[in-house]
Amino acid sequence: MGICPLLATIAVGILAVHVEGHSVVAIPIVFLCGMMVGAGLSGCGIHFSYIHCLVALMAILLGIALAAGRRYPVMITAIAFVLIGIVLGHDDGLAIPPNNSPLVFLLGMLLSSLILLIIGLWLGMWMEAQSIPSRVFGVLVTAAGTGILIWSVVT
């Protein structure tokens, strides 16, 4: 995983705590299901153009959502996290080494993403949506995504 997917997955965990209602468990599961769909799409040979730019855009959007310091509706958040999960899962699916078992790689991807989500959930439990640490983390995620997006476009 690169820095953008890592920060984006932690941001998903933080934002899952800041969703209206009590969907702290459902939202990360929806995200992980989206990741599996994205990995499956890449395994089937369906490739997204400019995937690194898309990953950077997802990190930028998540950072902006965190920096805004709002609580978001459950359905909108779930739909957004499925789409973000598909993009991040597709990117991870493209990284499967040709000589390794895809199932083992995907299980490792899911486990590492789950650990990052749990870290994000833990951080989100300690940070309110309007708090300065939450907003600063959002700005950092946005800055990292912007840097990676510029690097992806230039190279």
User: Residue 98 corresponds to which tokens in the numbers above?
Assistant: 């040709």
What is the C-alpha to C-alpha distance for residues 27 and 93, in angstroms, rounded to an integer? Answer: 21
CB 35 within 8 A of CB 87: no
Strand-pairing partners, residue 72, are: 19
Q: Which of 20-24, 32-36, 74-78, 145-149 has the lowest mean pLDDT?
A: 20-24
Among the listed residues 141, 6, 13, 134, the one whose alpha carbon sits nearest the alpha carbon of residue 70: 134
What is the C-alpha to C-alpha distance for residues 62 and 123, in angstroms, rounded to an integer? Answer: 15
Mean of pLDDT values over 37-51: 89
* Each residue's pLDDT tens digit, 10-26: 999 999 998 887 778 88
* Each residue's pLDDT tens digit, 47-102: 888 888 999 999 999 999 999 988 889 999 999 999 999 999 999 888 888 787 88
**So where are the chain's domains?**
3-154
Q: How confident is the model at residue 1 (pLDDT cuts 50, 70, 90)?
A: low
